[in-house]
Structure 1
Amino acid sequence: MALLARDLLAQDSVQATLDAIAASAVKLVDGCDAAGILAVRKGRAVTLAACGRAVQECDRLQGELGEGPCFDLARRKDGERIYRIADMTRPQPTWERFATRARPLGVGSMTGLLLYTDNDDFGALNLYARRPGAFGEDIETAGWLLASHAAVALADARTIDQLEHAMETRHAIGEAMGILMERHKLSADEAFSVLRRISQNHNIKLRDVAQRVRAEPADPT
């Protein structure tokens, strides 16, 4: 698990981290044939990462039906942090519509764990197996360990992405200010005021204004 944590932290983007989480689940959890991360955004099921053929189709079904084990877990409809469907071939009163359509996909059992850090919910880590009864309580423990490490890595990855985005924005604005200062003999404050005025007048983000100035420095306004 220590090596896993180091590997996840070494990823260079949020998407790479998500992909590594799903792949690690298949590799490390006994009986797991596929794994994915699902988020619910504005009532829609969104597949953030998938390792295995069944993942995206199961996510699509749950989004289409507006219900399902991963879907309900990701939006914390009932406050649960984990679910387990031991045998998909048996009747599933809670998610019968989903179970009926998931069986032909070769899903025999499922386990899902809420992926979160403190109060930040990132979605659900979902494990799929072809055979019924693949996931017992011992597997859930391993899944929680994986989800805990993955959530921390994902939180760090998000923080890194935010910092990188802020640095890129700052760099773009600085370059645009330099262009305006050189071409129009403006001070730094005056150049920034020009950028801000364009942003406000045209309802465009300051970074986008800066990028336009960099692309067409001869006609910044």
Structure 2
Amino acid sequence: MSTLATEAIVSTIPAGLSNILSIIGHPNRSEPITNEACGQPTNPSGATVYIADVDAEDRWPRWRAQVAEGKIRSVLHVPMRSGPQVIGVLSLYTLHPDAFTPDDVAVAHILARHASVAVATARHEETLARAVDARKLVGQAMGILMERFDLSDDQAFALLRRYSQDTNTKLRDVAQELIDTRQLPSARVTEPGLDH
């Protein structure tokens, strides 16, 4: 980049939150500032937001005041995408007005793509790890039921699944409760032997 950014922040949008149009960080905060919290630049299309001179910006006065506290003068926000979904924002800040050139914007888009891949990969790996952990818990719970009530693996799984559905509890949580207490959860489940 022709101008070195004073700060660069990658802010991610927590998975499952669809009501946040963008998250744009502030270089002097550990948490991102959301649209709703401070009237910051909204970005419904997921387009790049370039504020050439923070001092001249009048669309988002609360946001401008917070960013100006850090003597920030130019801001470039580039959306990070995973497919069509915006998963975060790469935010670049500098102490100089009119600091980012078209080449800088192009490089920022490349960096945002790389950050997007890293975030999407980390989220995918986290999801897989949770699924493996849940499968282990369910397997342990099934083993307890199979040994205690002389059930087949299909019968033990059916019992866990039925309890999960009847109580509107995640299967993983039902399994964890059984493992922790070594007892069948008591609410609304008939004895497993009746399912033979």
Q: What residue in structure 2 maps to residue 68 of structure 1?
A: 40
Contact residue 72 and residue 96 of structure 2 kept, 8 A: yes
Taking the aligned partners of 2:99 and 2:73, their CA distance within structure 1 comes to 8
1:125 aligns with 2:90: yes
Taking the aligned partners of 1:177 and 1:83, their CA distance within structure 2 comes to 52
Q: What residue in structure 2 maps to residue 110 of structure 1?
A: 75
SS of residue matched to 2:182: coil
Q: CA deviation at 1:123?
A: 2.6
Letter in 2 for 1:212: E
Taking the aligned partners of 1:55 and 1:177, their CA distance within structure 2 comes to 43
Unaligned runs of 5+ in 1: 1-28
Alignment RMSD (CA, Å)? 2.8
Moved more, 151-160 or 208-217: 151-160
Q: CA deviation at 1:209?
A: 0.1
Taking the aligned partners of 2:90 and 2:7, their CA distance within structure 1 comes to 14
1:151 aligns with 2:116: yes
Taking the aligned partners of 1:181 and 1:190, their CA distance within structure 2 comes to 8
How many residues are paired up? Answer: 182
Task: Name which one, 1 or 2, has greater alpha-carbon Rg.
Answer: 2
Taking the aligned partners of 1:100 and 1:199, their CA distance within structure 2 comes to 50
SS of residue matched to 2:13: strand
Taking the aligned partners of 1:141 and 1:102, their CA distance within structure 2 comes to 24
Q: CA deviation at 1:45?
A: 7.7
Q: What residue in structure 2 maps to residue 33 of structure 1?
A: 7
TM superposition score normalised by structure 2: 0.78
SS of residue matched to 1:89: helix
Contact residue 176 and residue 211 of structure 1 kept, 8 A: yes
Unaligned runs of 5+ in 2: 187-196
Q: CA deviation at 1:125?
A: 1.6
TM superposition score normalised by structure 1: 0.70
- 1:54-78, Cα deviation, whole Å (9 max, x unpaired): 5747x15x4323x322xx12xxx2x
Q: What residue in structure 1 maps to residue 54 of structure 2?
A: 88
- 1:19-51, Cα deviation, whole Å (9 max, x unpaired): xxxxxxxxxx82232423153845458869x69
Contact residue 37 and residue 124 of structure 1 kept, 8 A: yes
Taking the aligned partners of 2:5 and 2:129, their CA distance within structure 1 comes to 38
SS of residue matched to 2:99: coil
Moved more, 80-89 or 36-45: 36-45
Query: Sequence identity of aligned pairs in percent?
Result: 31
Contact residue 47 and residue 56 of structure 1 kept, 8 A: no
Choose between structure 1 and 2: higher helix proportion: 1
Of the three residues 170, 181, 194, the one matched with 1:216 is 181
Contact residue 74 and residue 98 of structure 2 kept, 8 A: yes
Contact residue 83 and residue 113 of structure 1 kept, 8 A: yes
Contact residue 34 and residue 51 of structure 1 kept, 8 A: no
- 1:100-144, Cα deviation, whole Å (9 max, x unpaired): 443223221100111103212203221122332332222212211
Contact residue 35 and residue 55 of structure 1 kept, 8 A: no
Contact residue 8 and residue 90 of structure 2 kept, 8 A: no
